Amino acid sequence: EEEEAKLQNGGFLPCPAGGVPLGTALEEPLRSCRLRSEAERRGGAAAESPSPPRSPGGDAPAARTCRDRAEPAALPPAPLGFTDVNLNSRNTYEVSRRRSAPEHLPHGGTAPAEPAPPPQEPAERARHRVGIAGAGSSFAEFFTRNFFTKRTKELKPAVQSAPGWKLFGKVPPRENLPKDSKIIQQEYEARTGRMYKPPPPSARRKNIEFEPLSTTALILEDRPANLPAKSVEEALRHRQEYDEMVAEAKKREIKEAHKRKKIMRERFKQEENIASAMVIWVNEILPNWEGMRATRRVRELWWQGLPPSVRGKVWSLAVGNELNITPELYEIFLSRAKERWKSFSETSTENDIEDAGASVADREASLELIKLDISRTFPSLYIFQKGGPYHDLLHSVLGAYTCYRPDVGYVQGMSFIAAVLILNLEEADAFIAFANLLNKPCQLAFFRVDHSMMLKYFAAFEVFFEENLPKLFLHFKSYSLTPDIYLIDWIFTLYSKSLPLDLACRVWDVFCRDGEEFLFRTGLGILRLYEDILLQMDFIHIAQFLTKLPEDITSEKLFSCIAAIQMQNSNKKWAQVFASLMKDNKEGDKNHSPAPKS
């Protein structure tokens, strides 16, 4: 038995554990030394106490020898707590053994000692139990002594410069805190032996007003200290590129600043002219309208544009009221329009409304078509769309007109004319001006879609087109581009859809002064303004360009081009040319009329 125990224990006699279970020393790694000493002390006490008869194999001397060896390592009893031991591989090994230990250990931290065998237990079985316990302890000492002697790396205490916090308690802060640029620079200088020399104050930017900061930050500043420095050639090249970029930026910013100043000066000058002109219109011209409207001074003021405060009043006076419409008459037709809207919403379907609106016999049925076109009127202003402040007002004016002139009804494009009048006049005055304006011969021919009259207007326009812009006229003729492709939209909306609103109002100012002639003169002015561009285009691009004119067109450029257009052909003015075309048309109709039957 001794030989077998020696073989199992690596050549040493087993040390009796005195009834201590195998998993007693596995509860916590840091407490293993104290637990093993207590187990040996209990085992020694059990060996000295009366026990079953000893076998002749010499168990008592072996136990006494083991006790003598264990006495120097014994520790006095200590309260339950952590023991000051080093974190070595023995703890790691015991942790792996602890995972296989029983899980039903008590909460106190130390395993309860296994009760001693009962007195009737045979001595052989007791010796066998002691041998197993001693073998387990000896195996642990053997492996830790031979294979796990290397100690693990001790943890360095973290530098706690500032406490960190988490949800349920205080934790130490992170070790890798971001370093300051100065610290990085000092470390780099200590490692490389180079010293960073800041650029002289004269090299830094002086005029911050015109230098772009992004360019300065990317090129002018030196590289960070933790990167290799630039070579001399690279630094000179970057400096030259930076100077070129800054020079271009300065030129561009100076040019834009001069442009803004010029625009502001023109705007201030225009506002001053408007303020002084308003005084003249209010105090001198409007009180004596009939006597001063045709004077040269008034016509010159008219050409420069009407002040917004008197624009609506001058428009009403210039258009006149040949139809003798009163505000009471407007209310009558408005109530009739509301009744028809109500009847349409109750009895008619959408298809019936479209059929009725397309019929010529009942143009009043086009009331429902107005709703579709109002939403497209000056969409960028958002004041005529549904829910806007002028939506119902525009609807009322257009609806009342369709009931007032059922022979004309509603035609697409009327909404823009009515909207411009509503922006400058009261509701009833806007309706009166709208009805009288559409009663003019040119507007009536277009809105009633009188093809013969429309062709005469186009022919008169081409006469002055050829007279003023012969190159562009031949270019259009080469592509068979007729005036109806671009003039219809301009005339139907009186340029309020094609031009910016403020410029369109100034066109309206002179249109109220000169009549229909100025509408075609404005068209020739637009063609003259973009003549060089149109000469480089083909049919498709010309049509697209004239349908949607550029938005950056200014009143000064346009009116300078309009002033350069001469509305005379062979000493004939617009009215004379148009009258001769009408006369030629009548004579042609007589020549082509069938001969009377005999």
Question: What is the rounded distance in angstroms from the CA atom of residue 498 to the CA atom of residue 505?
Answer: 12
Rounded Cα gap, residues 134 and 151, in angstroms: 26
Query: Which residue type occupies 66?
Result: C
Determine the average pLDDT of the residues in 229-252: 88
Mean pLDDT of the chain: 73
Tell me which residue of 441, 374, 435, 424 sits closest to 400, measured CA to CA.
Answer: 435
Give me the pLDDT at residue 220, please: 63
Which token pair is 328?
Answer: 């009471």
- The pLDDT of residue 355 is 46
Evaluate whether 391 touches 385 at the Cβ level (below 8 Å). Answer: yes
pLDDT at 166: 45
Q: Output the pLDDT for position 177.
A: 52
pLDDT value at 160 more than 90: no
pLDDT at 223: 77
Mean pLDDT score, 436-445: 94
Per the model's pLDDT, the better-predicted residue between 162 and 486 turns out to be: 486
Mean pLDDT of 378-398: 90
Residues 452, 517: Cα–Cα separation, whole Å: 18
> Under DSSP, is residue 270 helix (H, G, I), strand (E, B) or coil?
helix
* Lookup: tokens for 541: 């691009």
- At 377, list the tokens: 């009127």
| DSSP classification of residue 58 | T
Q: Which residues contact 526 (CB under 8 A, 6 or more apart)?
A: 546, 549, 558, 561
Which amino acid would we find at residue 232?
V
User: For 299-342, how does the pLDDT look when each residue is reduced to its tens digit (9 = 90+)?
Assistant: 999 998 899 999 999 999 999 999 999 999 999 999 998 888 88
Cα separation, 344 vs 363, whole angstroms: 14
Question: CA dist 516 to 213, 446, 511, Å?
Answer: 56, 12, 7
Mean pLDDT is lowest, of 93-107, 361-375, 493-507, 516-530, for: 93-107
Residue 153 has pLDDT above 80, yes or no: no
CA angle 586, 588, 593 (to 5 degrees): 95
- Calpha distance 456→579 (Å, rounded): 10
For residue 403, what are the CA distances in angstroms to 340, 376, 384, 396, 406? 9, 22, 21, 11, 6
Question: Which phi and psi (to 5°) does residue 218 adopt?
Answer: -85, -35
Distance CA 162, CA 143 (A): 44
> Do the beta carbons of residue 47 and residue 64 sit within 8 Å?
yes
For 179-235, what is each residue's pLDDT tens digit?
Answer: 565 676 677 667 766 565 555 544 444 444 444 444 444 456 677 888 888 888 888
pLDDT at 75 over 50: no
Q: Which residues of 145-177 are buried (b: 16+ CB within 10 A; e: fewer)?
A: eeeeeeeeeeeeeeeeeeeeeeeeeeeeeeeee
- Name the packing angle between helices 516-529 and 501-514 (round to 10°): 140
Comparing CA positions, the residue from 474, 358, 490 lying closest to residue 413 is 490
- Which range has highest mean pLDDT (89-93, 246-250, 358-362, 422-426)? 422-426
Q: What's the pLDDT score for residue 379? A: 87
Residue 541 gets which letter from DSSP? Answer: H
What is the DSSP track for 159-204? --SS-EEETTEEEPPPSSPPPPHHHHHHHHHHHH-----PPPGGGS
pLDDT at 401 over 90: yes
Going by C-alpha positions, the residue among 451, 352, 363, 367 that lies closest to residue 407 is 363
Least confident of 65-74, 386-395, 511-520, 540-549: 65-74
Contacts 24+ apart (CB under 8 A), 487-493: 487/458, 487/461, 487/520, 487/523, 488/446, 489/413, 489/547, 490/519, 490/522, 490/523, 491/442, 491/443, 491/446, 491/457, 491/519, 492/411, 492/412, 492/413, 492/446, 492/447, 493/413, 493/416, 493/417
Asked if 44 and 72 touch (Cβ cutoff 8 Å), the reply is no
pTM of full prediction above 0.85:
no
Evaluate whether 434 touches 421 at the Cβ level (below 8 Å).
yes
Q: Is the pLDDT higher at 204 or at 36?
A: 36
> For residue 171, what are the β-bridge partners?
164
Residues, the chain: 598
pLDDT at 86: 47
